[in-house]
């Protein structure tokens, strides 16, 4: 029993050390020469003009999230569709339920006007 937990402990220690070592190493080795130009706001090479807190439409991000949901749906449904003839009825019904939940989400997004690009 202890042998199994030893592997979990080793994996946990390695999982903590791997990201920390490069961060500490870069902190020790990186040159630090701060000046006002380096610490100013940089926006694609263009000087910032006015207030940088500008409202923007969140609809673009919502549209992207809806696209992402249906993109991930394709990743899950493709292997399911390929092996549809070998799957038991329970698995087929689970897939149909998954599709139904996503269709309800699509209808909700459509009715809310999230898919309108105007």
d(CA 90, CA 98): 12
For 4-25, how does the pLDDT look when each residue is reduced to its tens digit (9 = 90+)?
889 989 999 999 999 999 999 9
- 118: in domain: no
Per the structure, the complete domain to which residue 16 belongs is given by 2-111
Give 73-91 pLDDT, tens digit per residue: 888 888 888 888 888 989 8
Pure H helices in 1-118: 2-29, 59-82, 89-111
* Within a domain: 116: no
Does 117 fall in a domain?
no
> Is residue 82 domain-resident?
yes
Rounded distance between C-alpha atoms, residue 15 and residue 9, angstroms: 10
How many structural domains are present in the chain?
A: 1
């Amino acid at each position: 029993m202890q042998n199994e937990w030893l592997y979990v402990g080793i994996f946990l220690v390695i999982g903590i050390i791997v990201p920390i070592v490069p961060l500490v190493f870069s902190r020790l080795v990186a040159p630090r020469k701060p000046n006002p130009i380096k610490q100013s706001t940089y926006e694609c090479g263009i000087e910032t003009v006015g207030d940088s807190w500008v409202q923007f439409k969140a609809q673009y991000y919502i549209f992207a999230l809806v696209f992402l949901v249906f993109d991930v749906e394709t990743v899950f449904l493709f292997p399911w569709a390929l092996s549809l003839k070998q799957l038991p009825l329970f698995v087929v019904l689970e897939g149909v339920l998954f599709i139904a939940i996503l269709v309800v989400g699509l209808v909700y997004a459509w009715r809310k006007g999230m898919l309108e690009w105007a």
